[in-house]
Amino acid sequence: MRLLLLATTTYAAKQATQAPRAPGALTPVIPLTNLTQALGGYRPKQDYAVFFYSPYGEAGAYCQRVLPLWDAVSKWHATKKTKRLSVVKFSCEMSTEHRRLCQAAGVRQFPTISFIAHGSLKWRPFGGKFSKDKSPSRVAVYRGIALADALRDWTVALHRVSELQRLWSGFRQILGRERSPQSVEIEALREELRRRDAEDQNRRLEASIQKMRAKLADAGAERNAEASTATKAAA
């Protein structure tokens, strides 16, 4: 029952970024939970093109100038109804958790535009150069010029690569040479339950130790009081 509840919560969080959008809508914000899952150890069921930005200072001002280009890319994919691709944005300065996640995603400056694919993207489709940054292997960082058409073509090209990877992965799963995303996700949920159970057990153990210490302190106080009373009676 607990595993089902946790799985239901995870599924609901994923659906939040997969809801249909109107073609004229601006780029949606991806929740922290969804981006964490997309960058996690198991491969996501869809791709993410993410605009990492900061709302503050000179970097924030530059992000605001570039963001309309990303909105145009988002609108184009919404109009084309591109399957298994979410064009989103994410603020790296909203909280400490946001900053840590951006660091894990390889964000070193603002804005940073990244593509999270099904498989490894260390070998780039353009130029064939091996990535030397510290971003995860399934993350490609845009290095081109700030033009809407260039950004759109980049997302289309990487999404096609990712779709081929997804097709090949499905074939390997049929052959039994690769675990399905569902089995990996279930194992991750079970690991999360084991972690929570261990934390609960540690809390219960700590509470029991505190109660035992309190009882020992009370018993010692009673003995001291009895000894004091006996000493006064003898005197």
Contacts of 30 (CB under 8 A, 6+ apart): 17, 38, 48, 50, 86, 88, 89, 90
Write the single-letter amino acid at 5: L
Pairing mode of beta strands 85-91, 47-53: parallel
Other CB atoms within 10 Å distance of the CB of residue 124 = 16
Instruction: For residue range 44-78, list pLDDT tens digits in order.
Output: 678 999 999 999 999 999 999 999 999 999 999 99
Instruction: For residue range 7-29, list pLDDT tens digits in order.
Output: 433 443 444 334 344 444 589 99
Instruction: For residue range 202-233, list pLDDT tens digits in order.
Output: 888 888 888 888 888 888 788 877 777 777 77
Which of 207, 30, 38, 52 is CA-nearest to residue 136? 38
Task: Return d(Cα 207, Cα 228) in angstroms, integer.
Answer: 32
Task: Return d(Cα 71, Cα 174) in angstroms, integer.
Answer: 38
135 contacts 106 by C-beta, under 8 angstroms: yes
In terms of residues, how long is the chain?
A: 235
How high is the pLDDT of residue 61? Answer: 94
Indicate whether 192 pLDDT > 60.
yes
Instruction: For residue range 92-129, list pLDDT tens digits in order.
Output: 999 999 999 999 888 999 999 999 988 777 654 433 34
Is this structure's pTM higher than 0.85?
no
Structure tokens at 199: 């934390």
